[in-house]
Amino acid sequence: MVNVLLSSVGLASAAGENAALNQPAFMSTTYQPRVASLANDGDHSTSVPDCAFTLASDQNPWWAVDLGAESTVVEVKYTLVDNSLGI
């Protein structure tokens, strides 16, 4: 079993801004209440309550963001959370 525990995601645009910040986010499954938008809300905390989780039973976990328009992304930064808790 595998799951995704995301603390933060940033997509740097050509203008240097975080194109993903507060945009609609989605993921394959949700471990409630750890919704996808917790990964791109600007909070870089790796505290478990502040992160987006997929279900541990998800065999093909993914996370996505809708940038709202065609964008040139020049850098992707993300922070994963240590899953030693076995969530």
Q: Which residue has the tokens 């933060």?
A: 8
Answer whether residue 6 shows pLDDT above 80.
Answer: no
User: Cβ distance 2 to 59 under 8 Å?
Assistant: yes
Q: d(Cα 38, Cα 72) in Å, to the nearest integer?
A: 23
Q: d(Cα 66, Cα 23) in Å, to the nearest integer?
A: 6
Q: d(Cα 61, Cα 52) in Å, to the nearest integer?
A: 12
DSSP state for residue 75 in the 8-state scheme: E
All structural domains of the chain with their residue ranges: 5-80
The answer for residues whose C-beta is within 8 angstroms of residue 15's C-beta and 6 or more apart is none
pLDDT digits (tens, 9 = 90+) for 7-38: 788 888 888 889 999 999 999 999 888 899 99
